[in-house]
């Protein structure tokens, strides 16, 4: 006899985990100590990440997907690829047959917006519609829905993470945390298998690729390294296959409607070729077949793009492929035989596939939501600690355009660090703080995240002001920057929320460039640092010549002027060693003059003073000199004044 499931209206809301995917999305919760996916009335767990904006209303999921062939511009597919992107991003135009709002129509000119009928919608609003559907599905099954953990690719930047978090709020969800997808998958596997060891998570979804090396030990999940591509996935396979279908159908210029049909046909062929050797397709009156061998040739360039990030993640983690205890597959695209074969060939071991790769991320998110909400998994027996990492280094631009890294990549989050800087010129009344992200030595080669100015500092001699910059990265991977001038207490903070996302391959390219240009970048950094130091010495020497002219000996000034000219000439060349030699030569020739100036200053300072007062002032001056020296050591690559906050 069938039984009714009765909900207690006073029952505590259950936390949920959401996998907001590019192609499909899922929601899960913990039931009787086990993570369980929510299914709809047709027993299906996957909700297509598709939204149709009709004149009569909005459809989400499978009903929306069916509208795509007839209404390709009003049916938004794979919206995750648009999250955090700018309207002027060239890659935006390649991602679908959509009509984009112009500069005067979009609510925010710097963020891409879709034009549907007489309104504009942003990727955040589209994602919110998907999240609402998932929330409603969960409510139908469990009654009262509590706070949520939403997963994001590990390589999502600040803009994409902020956009995802805001979409959750628009959907009426309390977002407990954004959780990196690979970490969620490892969490699901770790609890299910109760294994300790080092694992690599290979996550190839519809639109994003993540690779993460984690160490699982007694309930602690520590991310050792992470990498990937925020614009690589099964959608790229579909596009390659759709182009062949259109070519075989002798269609040279396809309408948006026909492009959508070709993409749907390609996806169907891709799914079929997972289990069979030959699959047929239809496009209007045209028909054809594609073999698995043909498919493998078409998608091989896409699959091969995953190899570089995998090898870099292993190198960053200090792990050889042979040392891995397992490889976890995540994402629907990993069902494709060529992907599994490539993973096994590169890593030398058969990947784990005990848990459905489409569901594993949502299951891990449900586990984390349950733990964060104060519940305990019956099988776990203890708390689980997640230690994610910063995927790219964070820092600020210093004199000479140098990128000074404050939080290095692969630092465990949440985290904080601070660094102290000083002024370059006399009477400087403000600091411009330029926050950058990347691995290159010069700020111009890194990604700009934010700029803000700290004003109101009283004029002081160069080197006297103390600017303390603190970076804090929270559990969601979002950055907050705080700057304070310690002698005056002037301070300012900024939450880094850039208005555009990374272009396709940019995150991957940033790491590649850092590797390819390592020696060149180091030379540029040495050159920039040498020029800054040379200018500082020249300015100090010129000031000394003006203020201490009476202390110069006969013939001394021409020698100093000649050394200054030689240093000026050296700075115009691209040889950091020549600049260093010329700087040292100027220091040497000005040594006796500087000593006389110091003796004169001391004599004037102590005139009419008692010994005790002088001792106190000397002690205080030594403290300032030590602080300045520490700063100079930082600039020269010596011990850095950075501490966990």
Selection from 414, 408, 431 nearest residue 486 by Cα: 431
Q: Report in angstroms the alpha-carbon separations of 256 from 21, 67, 260.
A: 24, 13, 6
Catalytic residue among 141, 181, 238, 370: 181
8 A C-beta contact, residue 59 and residue 51: yes
The catalytically annotated residue of 19, 236, 439, 506 is 19
Residue (of 114, 110, 100, 94) closest to 500 by Cα position: 110
- Please provide the size of the chain in residues: 645
Q: How far apart are the first and last CA of the chain?
A: 61
| 203, 397, 404, 513: the active-site residue | 203
Is residue 325 annotated as a catalytic residue, yes or no?
A: no
Could you tell me the maximum CA-CA distance found in the chain, to the nearest angstrom?
113
Phi, psi at 450, each rounded to 5°:
-165, 155
**Whole-number Å distance between alpha carbons of 68 and 169:** 27
Looking at 74, 80, 162, 506, which residue is catalytic?
Answer: 80
Active site residue 215: no
Q: Provide long-range contacts, Cβ within 8 A and 24+ apart, for 314-321.
A: 314/200, 314/213, 314/225, 316/213, 316/224, 316/225, 316/227, 316/409, 316/410, 317/198, 317/213, 317/224, 317/225, 318/224, 319/198, 319/213, 319/224, 321/346, 321/347, 321/348, 321/349
CB 179 within 8 A of CB 151: yes
Q: Is 19 among the catalytic positions?
A: yes
Active site residue 203: yes
**Angle, alpha carbons 536-540-541 (nearest 5°):** 115
Phi-psi region of 486 (alpha: psi -120 to 50; beta: other; left: phi over 0): alpha
Residues acting as catalytic residues = 19, 80, 181, 203
């Amino acid at each position: 006899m069938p039984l009714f499931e009765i909900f207690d209206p006073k029952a505590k809301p259950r936390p949920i985990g959401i996998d907001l995917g590019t192609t499909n999305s899922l929601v899960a919760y913990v039931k009787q100590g086990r993570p369980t996916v929510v299914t709809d009335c047709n027993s299906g767990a996957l909700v297509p990440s598709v939204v149709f904006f009709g004149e009569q209303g909005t459809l989400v999921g499978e009903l929306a997907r069916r509208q795509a062939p007839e209404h390709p511009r009003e049916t938004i597919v794979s919206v995750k690829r648009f999250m955090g992107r700018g309207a002027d991003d060239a890659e935006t135009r390649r991602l679908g047959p959509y009509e984009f709002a112009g500069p005067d129509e979009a609510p925010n000119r710097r963020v891409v917006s879709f034009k549907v009928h007489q309104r504009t919608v942003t990727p955040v609003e589209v994602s919110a519609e998907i999240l609402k559907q998932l929330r409603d599905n969960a409510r139908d099954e469990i009654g009262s829905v509590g706070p949520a953990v939403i997963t994001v690719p590990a390589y999502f930047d600040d803009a994409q993470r902020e956009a995802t978090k805001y979409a959750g709020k628009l959907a009426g969800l309390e977002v407990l945390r954004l959780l990196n997808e690979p970490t969620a998958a490892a969490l699901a596997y770790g609890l299910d298998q109760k294994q300790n060891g080092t694992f690599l998570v290979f996550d190839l979804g519809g639109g994003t690729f993540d690779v993460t090396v984690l160490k699982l030990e007694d309930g602690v999940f520590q991310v050792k390294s992470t990498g990937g591509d925020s614009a690589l996935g099964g959608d790229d396979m579909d596009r390659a296959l759709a182009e062949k279908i259109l070519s075989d159908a002798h269609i040279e210029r396809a309408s948006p409607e026909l492009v959508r049909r070709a993409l749907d046909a390609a996806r169907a062929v891709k799914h079929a070729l997972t289990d069979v050797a030959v699959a047929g397709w239809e496009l209007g009156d045209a028909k054809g077949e594609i073999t698995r061998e043909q498919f493998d040739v078409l998608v091989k360039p896409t699959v091969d793009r995953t190899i570089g990030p995998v090898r870099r993640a292993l190198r960053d983690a200090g792990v050889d492929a042979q040392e891995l205890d397992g490889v976890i597959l995540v994402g629907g695209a990993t069902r494709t035989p060529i992907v599994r074969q490539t993973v096994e060939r590169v890593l030398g071991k058969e990947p784990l596939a005990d848990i459905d790769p489409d569901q594993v991320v949502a299951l891990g998110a449900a586990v984390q939501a349950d733990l964060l909400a104060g519940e305990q998994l019956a099988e776990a027996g203890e708390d689980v600690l997640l230690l994610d990492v910063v995927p790219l280094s964070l820092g600020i631009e210093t004199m000479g355009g140098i990128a000074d890294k404050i939080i290095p990549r692969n630092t465990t989050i949440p985290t904080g660090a601070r660094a102290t800087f000083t002024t370059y010129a006399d009477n400087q009344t403000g600091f411009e703080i330029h926050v950058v992200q990347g691995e290159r030595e010069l700020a111009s080669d890194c990604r700009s995240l934010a700029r803000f100015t700290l004003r109101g500092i009283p004029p002081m001699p160069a080197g006297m002001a103390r600017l303390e910059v603190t970076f804090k990265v929270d559990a969601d991977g979002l950055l907050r920057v705080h700057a304070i001038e310690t002698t005056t207490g002037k301070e300012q903070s900024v939450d880094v929320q850039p208005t555009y996302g990374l272009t396709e391959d940019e995150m991957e390219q940033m790491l590649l460039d850092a590797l390819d240009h390592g020696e060149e970048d180091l030379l540029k950094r040495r050159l920039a640092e040498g020029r800054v130091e040379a200018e500082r010495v020249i300015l100090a020497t010129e000031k000394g010549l003006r203020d201490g002219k009476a202390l110069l000996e006969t013939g001394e000034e021409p020698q100093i002027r000649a050394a200054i000219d030689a240093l000026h000439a050296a700075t115009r060349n691209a040889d950091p060693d020549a600049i260093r030699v010329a700087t040292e030569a100027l220091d040497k020739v000005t040594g006796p003059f500087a000593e006389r100036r110091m003796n004169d200053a001391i004599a004037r300072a102590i005139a009419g003073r008692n010994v005790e007062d002088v001792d106190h002032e000397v002690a205080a001056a030594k403290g300032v000199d030590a602080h300045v020296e520490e700063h100079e050591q930082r600039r020269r690559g010596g011990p850095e004044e950075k501490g966990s906050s």
